[in-house]
Amino acid sequence: MRKALIAGNWKMFKTEEEAVLFTEELARRVADVQDREILICPPSLYIYPVVHALVDSSVMVGVQNIFWEDQGAFTGEISAPMARSTGARFAVIGHSERRQYFAETDDTVNKRLMACLKASLTPIVCVGESLEEREAGRTLDVVGSQLGKGLKGVSAKDAPHLVIAYEPVWAIGTGKTATPQLAQEVHAFIRSVLKGIFGEKPALAIRILYGGSVKPDNIDDLMAQADIDGALVGGASLDAASFERIIRYKG
């Protein structure tokens, strides 16, 4: 049985004070939640104060990106061991905004993913098609290729430590959510690709999150789908009440 994971991606929002106040409020609101995992990914600058604000909480912390080398002359970057040493447990890898604005490719996704596994940081590997690719009927080709290249070299032994996020680019921050059926179709396809790469058992242990305009009013139907094991939430994770409602999805 895969434990659901509800992850908040704050992107480049909040000051340090806002980050800490929000975290304390969220921890209070979800203190009784035990049957699902909760993760917040603030800007890396705030990992330490946010981890500190969560000492008595089961809410976990992740980073939004890491560089693939452990250390070196890479101005402005942070590495997987550095993120791990601050208390981060997860790293978002290959988010479409990184692919779009920072030249992230499947090859660099793969390097970052390997660095995460080496540092015991759980990678959340984002895949998803653009509107143009969907309209051209290329969704499964695009997602299959992103998975094939992005997961290259990962062993079946490491597979259960992976998290995949299906995030159709046209649904991110647009208010246009994939219908639960459409999301499930791609999630089932992702599961079949994972089975092809890792074999049946490891593939069944991998959590596949849906991301793209997840809100309190659509989370229940999304989470009712067989291969949707959680959500990667952007905008709606910035408000404690709406993120709490998403965490408390019914089902």
Binding site for ligand PEP (CB under 6 A): 9, 11, 95, 167, 172-173, 211-214, 232-236
Residue spans of alpha helices (H) in the chain:
16-29, 47-53, 80-85, 96-101, 106-118, 131-135, 139-150, 180-198, 200-205, 219-223, 240-247
Residue nearest to ligand PEP (CB): 234
Q: Which is nearer to ligand PEP, 9 or 225 (CB)?
A: 9
- Closer of 11 and 84 to ligand PEP (Cβ): 11
Tokens of 45: 């600058």
Q: What whole-number distance in Å separates Cα of residue 3 and Cα of residue 6? A: 10
Are 246 and 238 in contact, with CB atoms under 8 Å apart?
Answer: no
Are the CB atoms for 153 and 114 separated by under 8 Å?
yes
Specify the residue, 10 or 67, whose C-beta has the smaller distance to ligand PEP.
Answer: 10
Cβ nearer to ligand PEP, comparing 93 with 159: 93
- Residue 95 annotated as catalytic: yes
Q: Would you call 147 helix, strand, or coil by DSSP?
A: helix
Which residue, 64 or 202, is less far from ligand PEP as judged by CB?
Answer: 64
**Catalytic residue from among 97, 133, 167, 244:** 167
In the complex, least distance from residue 215 CB atom to ligand PEP, rounded to whole angstroms: 8
* Residue 215 Cα distances to 30, 34, 175, 244, 246, angstroms: 17, 21, 9, 11, 7
For residue 8, how many other CB atoms are within 10 A of its CB?
A: 27
Determine the angle formed by the axes of helices 16-29 and 240-247, rounding to 10 degrees: 40
Active site residue 167: yes
Calpha distance 2→247 (Å, rounded): 16
Compute the least distance from the CB of residue 196 to ligand PEP, in Å. Answer: 26
Neighbours of 23 (CB within 10 A): 24
Tell me which residues are annotated as active site: 95, 167
